[in-house]
């Protein structure tokens, strides 16, 4: 379609204002604005189409991990040896970024405190959605979701703690899956890496000023052994936790506004229940004036 160009002569600024009210000028501006709107709409539709393809591909690429055989896959030290698999995540050829796991729960910037590996997004997502749930004993009245809002930022701040949490998440994820996969993660190797990271962190920090993250890492290693290991390994980590708390000045000195203290007591109560062992922090309650807390193995084991 041909376009007729019309020259508009303006001698004074006020003449431009008068011409702006002209029907011909207004019609021209409206046509141009409509063309720009249609162009943006087409671009938005194309982008949405690409995102739909990415979503479909992302969902097709989510592969599961086989169920853990609780007793058959442990060696004499109670270590889980079964090989499990992470999730395959592919970027499309056009370079678009895939939809984050679970609807914006993933981290597209890969800002993890360890070197990137393909299994991390799936295990982080599983931990946040299936394990770091609302637990009344830990949240206490008036609070919800402290494991996600207060505890997990601490997890992301320390390599040793992060690896321990990934070990717990991978082990729990393996226990609730039933379909085999192609890619593999060795839980025993991951356990060794987590323990080594805790030991390295202990060497770097002064005993009298252990960080909350390192105390949390020791506590969570004890909880891992309570669930997947044996009494001997659990005892080693609980004695280490007992010593770490002592060096910090007692349970009341732990941070996160009391949450870390409650996590330690939570692990002590449930670990003793599962192993039939003695308490390392006897007489401690979640809050002053409360009765001694009962074990809650369902939440402790991450049961759905």
Share of the chain above pLDDT 90, in %: 45
pLDDT at 53: 56
In this prediction, residue 291 has a pLDDT band, given cuts at 50, 70 and 90, of confident
User: Residues 6 or more apart from 168 whose CB is under 8 A from it?
Assistant: 127, 131, 220, 223, 224, 227, 302
Q: Are residues 89 and 150 in the same domain?
A: yes
Residues in the chain: 304
Shared domain check, 106 and 1: no
* Structure confidence at residue 199 as a pLDDT band (50, 70, 90): very high
Q: How far apart are CA 162 and CA 160, in angstroms?
A: 5
| DSSP-based helix, strand, coil % in the chain, nearest 5 | 55, 0, 40
Residues 39 and 176 in one domain: no
Cα–Cα distance, 147 to 132 (Å, whole number): 5
At 110-136, the pLDDT tens digits run 678 898 888 899 899 999 999 999 999
The answer to whether residues 183 and 248 belong to one domain is yes
Counting the structural domains of the chain, the total is 2
Binning pLDDT at 50, 70 and 90, where does residue 260 land? very high
Same-domain status, 94 and 204: yes
Q: Higher confidence at residue 182 or residue 267? A: 267
Q: Are residues 33 and 144 in the same domain?
A: no
Quick one: 56 and 74 in the same domain? no
- Please tell me whether residues 36 and 157 are part of one structural domain: no
Range of the domain at 24: 1-61
- Residue 263 sits in the same domain as residue 154: yes
Residue 122: half-sphere exposure toward Cβ, Cα within 13 Å? 23
pLDDT at 300 > cutoff 50: yes
Q: Are 152 and 132 in contact (CB under 8 A)?
A: yes
Tokens of 126: 């599983």
Task: Please check whether residue 277 is in contact with residue 235, taking contact to mean a CB–CB distance below 8 angstroms.
Answer: yes
Token pair for residue 148?
């996600």
- Quick one: CA dihedral 188, 189, 191, 192, positive or negative? positive
End-to-end CA distance of the chain: 65
Site of tokens 């442990």? 74
Domain termination site, one of 40, 61, 82 = 61
Of 9, 32, 61, which marks where a domain is finished?
A: 61
Residues 277-290: what's their mean pLDDT? 91
Alpha-carbon distance 188 to 82, whole Å? 8
What distance in Å separates the CA atoms of residue 244 and residue 211, rounded to the nearest whole number? 10
pLDDT value at residue 176: 83
Instruction: Say what the pLDDT of residue 84 is.
Output: 34
* Of 19, 36, 61, the domain-final residue: 61
Same domain, residue pair 14 and 90: no
> What is residue 171's predicted lDDT score, i.e. its pLDDT?
92
| Tens digit of each residue's pLDDT (9 = 90 or more) over 99-109 | 444 444 556 55
Domain identity same for 200 and 179: yes
Residues 148 and 233 in one domain: yes
């Amino acid at each position: 379609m041909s376009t007729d160009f019309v020259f508009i002569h303006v001698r004074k600024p006020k003449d431009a204002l008068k011409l702006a009210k002209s029907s011909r000028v207004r019609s021209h501006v409206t046509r141009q604005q409509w063309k720009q709107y249609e162009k943006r709409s087409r671009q938005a539709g194309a982008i949405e189409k690409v995102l739909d393809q990415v979503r479909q591909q992302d969902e097709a690429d989510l592969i599961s991990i086989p169920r853990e055989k609780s007793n058959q896959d442990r060696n004499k030290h109670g270590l889980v040896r079964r090989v499990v698999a992470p999730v395959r995540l592919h970027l499309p050829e056009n370079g678009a970024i895939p939809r984050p796991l679970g609807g914006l729960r993933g981290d597209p910037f890969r800002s993890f405190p360890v070197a990137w590996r393909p299994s991390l997004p799936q295990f982080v997502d599983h931990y946040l959605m299936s394990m770091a749930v609302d637990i009344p004993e830990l949240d206490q009245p008036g609070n919800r979701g402290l494991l996600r809002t207060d505890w997990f930022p601490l997890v992301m701040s320390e390599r040793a703690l992060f690896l321990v949490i990934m070990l717990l998440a991978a082990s729990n994820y393996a226990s609730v899956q039933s379909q085999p996969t192609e890619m593999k993660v060795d839980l025993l190797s991951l356990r060794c890496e987590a323990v080594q990271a805790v030991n390295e962190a202990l060497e770097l920090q002064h005993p009298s000023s252990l960080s909350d993250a390192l105390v949390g890492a020791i506590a969570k290693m004890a909880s891992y052994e309570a669930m997947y290991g044996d009494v001997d390994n659990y005892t080693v980590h609980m004695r280490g936790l007992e010593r770490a708390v002592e060096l910090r000045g007692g349970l009341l000195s732990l941070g996160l506004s009391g949450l870390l203290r409650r996590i330690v007591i939570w692990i002590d109560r449930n670990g003793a229940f599962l192993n039939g062992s003695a308490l390392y922090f006897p007489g401690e309650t979640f809050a002053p004036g409360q009765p001694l807390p009962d074990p809650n193995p369902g939440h402790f084991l991450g049961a759905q």
